[in-house]
Structure 1
Amino acid sequence: MMSVFLYVIFMIPLCFNFSMIMMQLSYLVILLLMMYMMGCLDFFGSISYNLGIDFYSYYLICLSFVIGSLMLISMLNCYSVKLFSFMNLLLTICLLINFSSLNFLYMYISFEFMLVPLMILILGWGYQPERLMSGMYLFFYTALASLPLLMLILYMSHTSNSLFFDYLVLDSKLLLLHFILVLVFMVKFPMYLLHYWLPKAHVQAPVSGSMILAGLMLSVGGYGLIRVMMIYEYLFIKYSYIWFTFSIVGSFLVGLICLVQGDMKSLIAYSSISHMGMVIMGMTTMSMWGLLGSYLLMLGHGFCSSGLFYVANMVYKRTSSRSFYLNKGLMGYVPSVALFWFMLCAFNMSCPPSMNFISEVMILISIVSFWSCSFYWFVFISFVCACFSYYLYSYSFHGVYHNLYSFSMINVMEYLCVSIHLVPLIFAPIFIMCL
């Protein structure tokens, strides 16, 4: 893993030469191929200098390189592109360390340092003056939840004499320790009642910030929860019903909130919260089906939600608005985008044959075995999810466009970027079935 890490480090000088930006993009693709050649193991492999990969981290690292490449494509024409490419590479390095670290302290430091380049992206390339307030929301939510975790890490280091995940064991039965250890990852998901920073950050962030938030920052919370779940199973078994209850009720309520949104990015952001609630439900059951379903839903959501934000930005660049009340009849204005938007909205409601569909079936099996009455809640959540996905498509692309003008000048690069989002969602289930 150190060879991959040094590979990314030595790409930093490419960021400060505009003619090398496309070369940096090519190197990220080559790095993705290197990761594919390395393969994944059920247990930790490629261990070097406290870094290693296993089944849970391998696909998230690959997703980091894919989303990082798509972020570069989405912002090639922005101002200060050299600084942006540096921030993008810095985020990729932090994600690589977070997903491959064998030490809890390494993971915590990279987990918190992601906040710096992410806030620079929001404040530097955001749309509205309200981006300052959204940056403050993001900062204080993360800081207030993570400082108690730092104290707990120091306590675990004192009691266990090690911070490696394989050696960490907590014998305490205090609810407070469980709450501190889990809260910071629930904020990153985010769980219902801890979610207020996400719509603010999404709406004010540039398209690249929304892609990294939807594609990877939410997966960081899920990955951290998987890691800490293995430290002490007893307290998770004892108190998992608390997080399960908040998630199953919150997913339904947030789905209803989506139906009253007037902004495209705001609706996609709230839909992410609803889907992450299902991820939490699957993980808290602590079953094989639930864990695998949650993991696949994180990957599928990373591609689907990132693609939705990208297409929403394509519309915003041409109409200067993200409002449903102004953007009507886009099927006549940008007809070539209608199929991509329809497929992404369909996959957002977990229609087959997408990765989201398979993962939600796995989560349904796990939550019904955890609590039989959760089947009715799951039906309500799925119905509301289908409603707001249909609302997202029909209100923006159907109807009559306000100036009755047809315009379909979409770049080949934009088609390529949307297609890369869709290909894994369609072909990943076939690959899973073959396994």
Structure 2
Amino acid sequence: MLELIGLLMGMVVGVWLELSFTLMVTVTVLVLGSMVSLLYVGSQDLVMSVFGVGLGGDMMSVGLIWLSMWITLLMLMASLKSGVDSWFVCLILLLVVLLVGVFLSMDLVWFYVMFEGVLVPTFLLLVGYGYQPERLQAGLYLIFYTVFASLPLLLMILWWESSNCSSSVVCLVGWAGEGSDLGFVLYLAGVGAFMVKMPLFLVHLWLPSAHVEAPVSGSMVLAGVLLKMGGFGLIRLCPLFVSWISVTSWFWVSLSLWGGVYLSLVCLRQGDVSALIAYSSVVHMGLVVGGIMSLSVIGFVGSYVLMVGHGLCSSGLFCLANMTYDRVGSRSILVTSGFLALIPSGGLVWFLLVSANMAAPPTINLLGEISLLGSLLGWSSLSLVGLGLVSFLSASYSLYLFTSSQHGEMMGGVGGFEGFYLSEYLLLLLHWLPLNFIFIKSDLFVL
């Protein structure tokens, strides 16, 4: 045990010495911020006011803020090899400030401002630091999908504030005009923006292209945090549209389950590692939508747990895909076949993170998926067919990703490169450790 602690400390010191002064200051601020947020873990009702703007949160806010800061730290570590300039650090700091603002906003107007403001540094990361010429098209996909879907949300928030003289989240109670056509339009306006941000099946086309063209830091923040804003906003607005959700939940649950089945089959035919991981993210977010739309406590808790677990797991998989791309020069599964013979320890990390992606114990993904299974089966026993297919196919494409990229014969000409560096192993370890050891303290996820 002491040898393991000494090895970890040596890895941390080695990476720390690689940082510039600016990055040292940035990392220190983020670490202190995450520690301060964890001090409020025992507080179920944190409300404060800064410059007259209502900020506050609950356990879900604290957990997602911790996830945002943790993923941001790992983004900086992952970008050390490719070089980090001052503009990149400024974008990362702006991004984490806006993310914290999203999860602490107690006012719907400020929530919308922060919610849309996150797109600016994300778009600049994608376009300015992407690898391929198609990154501009992927950035336009990101902007058009998310902004156009969010404009009706802004109109709904302004209408609600003018009608109730308050846009506070605390005042969101069931709306009385459920039976009118206007109420249904406002319901679609409020829910649609979060469905695109998650994203749900049929409005997910911006996500794979953004992941494929984005730098490793952009893929990490997209998968790790940005998709969780949709689930967070959906849970926040549930009290306002609870009657409409109870009437239309069959549509959302059916779309999420059968969309997950279809996209799982798409994953089995993917030849691009990054695209496969991106499509698997849509499958997992479909389960999150189903759990929220079941309107049960265990569904909310399961969605929250799976969002945190998926953020760590998917971010780690994108890091691994980028490390493989740096050495092989291709994201194709065929080119990277037989990778286990070249870097055996890298194959071990692939196995650990892929097993977490298929919700193997003791990861918190298992806790989240079991809770979602219980909530959806309690909602309707007919959902057993879709849930069974999604679970089976999720394990299938996870095994397909591991076996196709790690086993088999190596392509001619592949080889002659170095193994993973110490800092890269530390980066992957910092993804894997909280993913598995938070399971021991699962009572933190009580909303």
Report the TM-score range of the alignment, normalised by the length of the smaller protein.
Answer: over 0.9
Aligned to 2:404: 395
Question: 2:169 aligns to what SS in structure 1?
Answer: coil
* 2:98 alignment partner, one of 89, 94, 111: 94
Contact 2:327–2:417 (CA under 8 A) maintained in structure 1: no
* 2:172 alignment partner, one of 168, 171, 179: 168
Q: Distance in 2 between matches of 1:89 and 1:243?
A: 35
Contact 1:335–1:408 (CA under 8 A) maintained in structure 2: no
Q: Distance in 2 between matches of 1:136 and 1:172?
A: 37
Q: Distance in 2 between matches of 1:242 and 1:375?
A: 16
Aligned to 1:214: 223
Deviation, 1:168, is 3.2
Q: 1:417 to 1:187 in 2, by over 3 A?
A: same
Q: Which runs of 4+ in 1 moved over 6 A?
A: none
Question: 2:171 aligns to what SS in structure 1?
Answer: coil
Q: Distance in 2 between matches of 1:379 and 1:220?
A: 27
Aligned to 1:36: 38
Contact 1:41–1:53 (CA under 8 A) maintained in structure 2: no
Question: 2:442 aligns to what SS in structure 1?
Answer: helix
Aligned to 1:198: 207
Q: Give me the CA root mean square deviation.
A: 1.6
Unaligned runs of 5+ in 1: 1-16
Within a 5 Å distance, the mapping from 1:164-313 to structure 2 comes to 164-169=168-173, 170-173=175-178, 174-313=183-322
Deviation, 1:33, is 1.3
Contact 1:247–1:280 (CA under 8 A) maintained in structure 2: yes
Q: Distance in 2 between matches of 1:24 and 1:80?
A: 12
Contact 1:332–1:407 (CA under 8 A) maintained in structure 2: no
Residue by residue, what CA displacement relative to the aligned partner does 1:349-408 show, whole Å, maximum 9, x if unpaired? 111111111111110111011110111211110110001000111111111223474755
* 2:24 alignment partner, one of 8, 11, 22: 22
Aligned to 1:343: 352
Contact 2:38–2:62 (CA under 8 A) maintained in structure 1: no
Q: Relative contact order (C-alpha < 8 Å, sep 6+): which is higher?
A: 2
Contact 2:328–2:414 (CA under 8 A) maintained in structure 1: no
Aligned to 1:419: 429
Quick check: 1:410 aligned with 2:408? no
Q: Distance in 2 between matches of 1:83 and 1:281?
A: 39
Deviation, 1:320, is 0.8
Quick check: 1:58 aligned with 2:62? yes
Q: Distance in 2 between matches of 1:99 and 1:433?
A: 20
Unaligned runs of 5+ in 2: 1-18
Quick check: 1:139 aligned with 2:150? no
* 2:85 alignment partner, one of 81, 85, 92: 81
Task: Tell me the TM-score normalised to structure 1 length.
Answer: 0.93
Q: Distance in 2 between matches of 1:195 and 1:43?
A: 34
Question: 2:325 aligns to what SS in structure 1?
Answer: helix
Q: Distance in 1 between matches of 2:110 and 2:342?
A: 49
Q: Distance in 2 between matches of 1:251 and 1:133?
A: 26
* 1:116 alignment partner, one of 98, 114, 120: 120
Q: Which amino acid aligns with 2:436?
A: I
* 2:391 alignment partner, one of 358, 362, 382: 382
Deviation, 1:108, is 0.3
Q: Distance in 2 between matches of 1:46 and 1:336?
A: 47
Q: Which amino acid aligns with 2:337?
A: K
Contact 2:47–2:55 (CA under 8 A) maintained in structure 1: no
Q: Distance in 2 between matches of 1:38 and 1:183?
A: 32
Task: Tell me the TM-score normalised to structure 2 length.
Answer: 0.91
Q: Which amino acid aligns with 1:36?
A: L
Deviation, 1:218, is 0.6
Q: Distance in 2 between matches of 1:62 and 1:433?
A: 16
Contact 1:189–1:221 (CA under 8 A) maintained in structure 2: yes
Q: Which amino acid aligns with 2:177?
A: S
Deviation, 1:223, is 0.2
Residue by residue, what CA displacement relative to the aligned partner does 1:185-206 show, whole Å, maximum 9, x if unpaired? 0000100000000001000000
Deviation, 1:43, is 3.0
Q: 1:160 to 1:433 in 2, by over 3 A?
A: closer
Deviation, 1:235, is 1.5
Q: Distance in 2 between matches of 1:192 and 1:172?
A: 29
Q: Which amino acid aligns with 1:62?
A: W
Q: Distance in 1 between matches of 2:130 and 2:42?
A: 37
Contact 1:251–1:381 (CA under 8 A) maintained in structure 2: yes
Question: 1:166 aligns to what SS in structure 2?
Answer: helix
- Figure out how many residues of one structure are paired with residues of the other and give that number: 419
Deviation, 1:29, is 1.3
Q: 1:200 to 1:404 in 2, by over 3 A?
A: closer
Aligned to 1:357: 366
Q: 1:240 to 1:143 in 2, by over 3 A?
A: same
Deviation, 1:321, is 0.7
Within a 5 Å distance, the mapping from 1:67-78 to structure 2 comes to 67-78=71-82
Q: Which moved more, 1:42-51 or 1:292-301?
A: 42-51
Deviation, 1:39, is 2.2
Identical-pair percentage: 40
Question: 2:202 aligns to what SS in structure 1?
Answer: coil
Q: Distance in 2 between matches of 1:317 and 1:371?
A: 46
Deviation, 1:38, is 2.7
Deviation, 1:19, is 2.6
Q: Distance in 1 between matches of 2:79 and 2:259?
A: 34
Q: Distance in 1 between matches of 2:90 and 2:239?
A: 35
Aligned to 2:12: none
